[in-house]
Structure 1
Amino acid sequence: MIIVFEGIHGCGKTTLLNKLRSWIKLNLKTPFITTKWNSYPNLKEFGNELKDKDLLDPLESSLLYGLDFNLRYKNIILPTLEKGGLVLCDRYIYTAYVRDGLRNISTTLLNEMYGHAKEPDIIFFLKIDPETAINRLEKTIEKRSNYILGLDLNLSSNKIENFKKFLYLQDKYYNKIIVENKKNFYVINSLDDENHQFDTVLKIFKNHFEDSQL
């Protein structure tokens, strides 16, 4: 099974993923791995250095993310699935379709890079309004790259306002993807109590996991 957590920055997807990871480790004997967007060894550091220096245009960034995903897919995700294991993904191909799509990277190219990827068994979309997300991230905004903040899109002359507008655009794009793929998506309200969020995630996971064992 592939279990994916998606959502804009500040929605809490990593927190929920880690909670599910801990539960699986304590309660199941099934092998599992976790994999994070833009995390392939060495390539991540190389790409981040280029982004920090603003040396990548949108197409180059898209290709770099595509390479990162495909290396993780081939060397980490597929081998785990072939062994009957679980793969917990902190973002999946939808992150690319949202962020690159907003930068006018063609869907045709994105399909070429990601169209072979297995459809996840569960996609948790953590829904949060961008204003609240900005408040959660306020202390870390200055540490984030121009690419993450969407400054290359020139949405505003103010960095925080630009980031906010970028998050609104991402949220709108995610909603489009949810409508088109609603069979696999489960919307989690990020404003709910954290324990309640996890109870919902765990219930959905257990139902799918039990069905997969039949």
Structure 2
Amino acid sequence: MPPTCSNGHPGFLITLDGPSGVGKTTCSRLLCAILTASGLPAVRTTQPSDSPIGSLARSGTHDFHGLALTCLVAADRYHHIATVIEPELQAGRVVVCDRYVPSAFVLDRLDGADLEFITHLYRHALRADLAVFLLGDPEVCLRRAQERGTYSRFHHGELAAAETERALFAETAEQFRATGTPTLIHQIGHADAGEVAAALAEQITTAIAARPHPLPRAR
């Protein structure tokens, strides 16, 4: 099951997860720009991170497998939370994170880690204030991922693999929602990244406005 620890910070953590090729990276950049333009103090980050641990994990998917890669990515995730995400949240900022814990419940399972192990590994992870799941047509996602380049061995699959990945993300989204994490499942359909980001921004600003303590406006 997903992490359930409470946050207790003045900021707002938004995470974006979904299958390869669904448009998370482009959408996260556009979303952060929209939120900033609206006056919110938004920053964007990504996992694996740009730290030495994250760089090793990002470039090592062909060298590391199974639990070794699972633990390496988890180490980067906890380091990233402690050194980047939590300080930004404590400063009252909106953090938009491209990939977060939900991806572990998909990619690590595809790599052989069982659900109980992943759940235990992330039991201390900071819970998102809003976990966004982007879901799209597996054929479209597969084509986009292939056009972008297969820099990770997780991008080498065919249509059946893309369908399995999407199904696991849909399942994980429902699991996160069931454990109390505020969850938004967005079907991208035929919308482009700008339209998806705009739709998400509208729902996110509504969620932020509903908080008992408002965020500071960006200067």
Q: TM-score per shorter chain, which class?
A: 0.7 to 0.9
Q: 1:48/1:181 Cα in 2 relative to 1: closer, same or farther (>3 Å)?
A: closer
- TM-score, normalised to structure 2, is 0.81
Residues in 2 aligned to 1:178 and 1:44: alpha-carbon distance in whole angstroms: 24
Whether 1:22 and 2:30 are equivalent positions in the alignment is no
Whether 1:5 and 2:24 are equivalent positions in the alignment is no
1:145 corresponds to: 152
2:72 corresponds to: 64
1:171 corresponds to: 166
Percent identity of equivalent pairs:
19
CA RMSD of aligned residues (A): 2.1
Q: Which has the higher contact order (CA 8 A, sep 6+)?
A: 2
Which runs of no fewer than 5 residues in structure 1 stay unpaired? 150-158
AA of the residue aligned to 1:189: Q
Which structure carries more helix by proportion? Answer: 1
AA of the residue aligned to 2:57: G
Query: Is the partner of 2:49 in helix, strand or coil?
Result: coil
Which runs of no fewer than 5 residues in structure 2 stay unpaired? 1-11, 215-219
Query: Is the partner of 1:181 in helix, strand or coil?
Result: helix
AA of the residue aligned to 2:83: N
AA of the residue aligned to 2:56: F
Q: 1:197/1:112 Cα in 2 relative to 1: closer, same or farther (>3 Å)?
A: same
Residues in 2 aligned to 1:56 and 1:5: alpha-carbon distance in whole angstroms: 24
Higher gyration radius (CA):
1
How many residues align? The count is 198
2:189 corresponds to: 191
**Per-residue deviation, 1:166:** 2.2
**1:81 equivalent among 84, 89, 97:** 89
The 5-angstrom pairing of residues 77-156 of structure 1 reads: 77-141=85-149, 143-146=150-153, 148-149=154-155
Q: 1:132/1:44 Cα in 2 relative to 1: closer, same or farther (>3 Å)?
A: same
Residues in 1 aligned to 2:198 and 2:44: alpha-carbon distance in whole angstroms: 20
Q: Deviations over 1:154-204 (max 9, x none)?
A: xxxxx5xx3432222111111212222336222222223334423321111
C-alpha contact (below 8 Å) 2:19/2:162 kept by paired residues: yes
Q: 1:128/1:93 Cα in 2 relative to 1: closer, same or farther (>3 Å)?
A: same
